[in-house]
Amino acid sequence: MQDDKIKLRIDELINNINKASYEYYVLDMPTITDQEYDDFYNELLYLESKYPELKRDDSPTSRVGGEALSKFEKVTHNTPMLSFDDIFNEDEIISFDERVKKVISNPTYTVEPKMDGLSGSLLYKEGILVRAATRGNGMEGEDITLNVKTIKSVPLKLTEPIDIEVRGEIYMSKKSFVSLNIEREKNGENLFANPRNAAAGSVRQLDSKVTAKRGLDFMAYFIPNPSDYGIKTQAESLEYLKKLGFVTNYKLNKLAHNANEIIACIDELGSIRDSLPYEIDGAVLKVNDLADEERLGYTSRVPKWGIAYKFPAKEVLTTLREIKFTVGRTGKITPNAIFDPVHVAGSLVTKATLHNEDYCIEKDVRVGDVISIRKAGDVIPEVVEVKLDRRKDDSVSFEMINNCPICNTKLIKKDSHHFCPNVHCPARKIEGLIYFASKDAMDIEGLGDEIVEDLFNMGYLNDISDFYKLDTHKDTLMSLEGYGEKSVTNLIDSISNSRFNSLERLLCGLGIKNVGKRTAKMLAIKYRNLDNLMNASYDELVSIKDIGETIAKCIKDYFDDDKNIEIINKLKAYGVNMECLIEKAIEDTNFAGKTFVLTGSLTNITRDDARDKIESLGGITTNSVSKKTDVVIVGDAPGSKYDKAKELGITIWTEEDFINKLSNN
């Protein structure tokens, strides 16, 4: 074939594939079989490999991903990527409607499913996708173009050659989420807690080939500058998006005229929620008429013309089978509810903490009870209540244990908690080992709780230095049931790599009582290496702001114990880094070593991002204001923390001051 004939054929194949994708994803009405689709696709692949110079940038074959990146570039949004305020009940829906009606006489609203993923911005130039970005802090996001190009429901080329920005949700379907977790379980990898986390984790992969395999989807719901396209309502925006080739929720997006109609739409969404192929966590309400939206305007943070209604946390019923007591690394005893497995908010759960004796007595939980479970803050499962009307007559009241369930030592009680006082209790050791490998400490990928427990029980681990000796047992480990060559090699590699962590991780992982992630970081920055810290006197430690007498004593006690020194010497011999790698320069910044408290709502940066920024510059964030606080950052509608800060004469920064200081660092 001549070049122009091949080019024509390539164009034809791409058109056929795009048409088929549009019918499949957008219209939900396929007109060709999977086999026909595959034939087009394979022919295109063949022609592109034979004539690489004719490969088009918007070819659907580029969805498989490309070269891995070393980091994501930052991108500035053309218009800030805002989100709506959240509301949780009917009264708040009525108030929203009333607020709108003070400005607009007969409003119409769109009621759209609130997709539970992460928002993304897609930029098209002359109809071709040129950039995709995360929301980030609303002003600045990350460039995820390569990853988004792999999402099959994102059109790489629009049906019209226009310049446009489109916003929508990047999400993972329930089906893809389940398959992904099955695969991860097989490979001994950590499971994702829900489809939202899985989507966020997949979109932030530096290697787009990994993203391509994750089965992400995109649902379009917003055009930032609709008037540029002659659009007059949000409903028209949604129509136009569909026409351009985007998947919209056209079957479920509804119109409503008052609070009652909104509530009816939300009830309807709630009733079909479980049967949808993806997770939704509420409904998004928007004033339909764009001229009305303009009249309503914005607060300093959010649009006044829309709001996000969140479904109440889902509660499910199950039967309590056992109350199991576990021993933490400090010896703390925790009663845990073990119940029949249930799906709650996207994941399968089998246990929830019951905290302590008082909690169990207050809830009056008994083995055999029917209990309701929900996810607190959508993450951690909790027991909501016991269904007393379903309690069996022969049920037995909860009773706290008196002895450690592992070493049988008599428990002691401090405040509301019981503790096993035996420092050699194997359970405390296991928890200490698990903690060493955890995210806050050495962050060793693949070292889940169960593996650590197995390795401890098999005698491979006695103290934390033994992790670095595991490579000498590689062959034995590989011969054990459930430990394949690949997983053992990966595990040993990630353990070995953890030797190069900065000091604060090791310091946290040592498990010194009362020295958690934040204190460890502060100490690492101050002392620069472990020897300096070990040589610090009690008086010196206690004179440091943020270190009280209790922490200073715990640090001294830890380093005064010869067994601990022996472990540290072994770690040194295995080549574990003992130096702080956080740049020294940041000690001179506006943040290093200082303690910050945030209060009120921030407009241009989320609280989590603000905390991350402060901590990455060596600062510490805490939740309450005290004499030890250096700076209180005050957003809109600050709470009592602001008053307290003024009372104590603490430095106060506005959000603007904060952003300025950030840019000075």
The distance of closest approach from Cβ of residue 171 to ligand IVH in the complex, given in angstroms and rounded to an integer, is 9
Place of tokens 């540290």: 568
Give the shortest CB-111-to-ligand IVH separation in angstroms: 9
Contact by Cβ (8 Å): 203, 134: yes
Residue 48 tokens read as 């592109």
Which residues make Cβ contacts (< 8 Å) with residue 112, sequence separation at least 6? 221, 238, 249, 252, 253, 254, 283, 284, 285, 286
Residue 275 CB burial class (10 angstroms; 0-12, 13-18, ≥19):
exposed
Question: In angstroms, what is the minimal distance from the CB of 307 to ligand IVH?
Answer: 8
Smallest gap from Cβ 116 to ligand IVH, in A, equals 7
Beta carbon of residue 142, minimum distance to ligand IVH (angstroms, whole number): 15
Please give the Cα distance from 212 to 174 (Å, whole number): 17
CA-based nearest residue to 168, from 126, 129, 132, 130: 132
Q: Of the two residues 114 and 594, which places its CB atom closer to ligand IVH in the complex?
A: 114
Q: Which C-beta is closer to ligand IVH: that of 22 or that of 222?
A: 222
The smaller minimum CB distance to ligand IVH, of residues 127 and 306, is found at: 306
Q: How many Å apart are CA 151 and CA 286, to the nearest integer? A: 27
From the CB of residue 175, how many other CB atoms can be counted at a distance below 10 Å? 12
Query: Tokens 């997949």 correspond to what residue?
Result: 202
Query: Measured from the CB atom, is 285 or 442 closer to ligand IVH?
Result: 285
Q: Specify whether 102 is catalytic.
A: no
Nearer to ligand IVH, 113 or 511 (CB): 113
C-alpha span between 5 and 1 (Å, rounded): 6
From 74, 114, 149, 324, active-site residue: 114
Closest to ligand IVH by CB, 83 or 190: 83
Q: Which is nearer to ligand IVH, 220 or 506 (CB)?
A: 220
Residue 111: which of 280, 247, 277, 333 has the closest Cα? 280
DSSP state of 83: -
Rounded to the nearest 10 degrees, what angle do helices 90-101 and 259-272 cross at? 140
* Positions in the binding site for ligand IVH (CB under 6 A): 82-84, 112, 114-115, 119, 169, 221-222, 284, 303, 306, 308
CA–CA separation, 16 vs 37, rounded Å? 8
CB of 284 to ligand IVH, least distance (A): 4
Residues 6+ positions from 304 with CB-CB distance below 8 Å: 99, 100, 296, 297, 298
Q: What is the dihedral of CA 139, 140, 142, 145, to 10 degrees?
A: 60
Shortest approach of ligand IVH to residue 450 CB, angstroms?
A: 35
Kindly list the distances between the CA atom of residue 349 and the CA atoms of 187, 194, 342, 406, in Å, as whole numbers in the listed order. Answer: 20, 11, 6, 25
Q: Pick between residue 520 and residue 610 the one whose CB is nearest to ligand IVH.
A: 610
Residue positions annotated with a catalytic role: 114
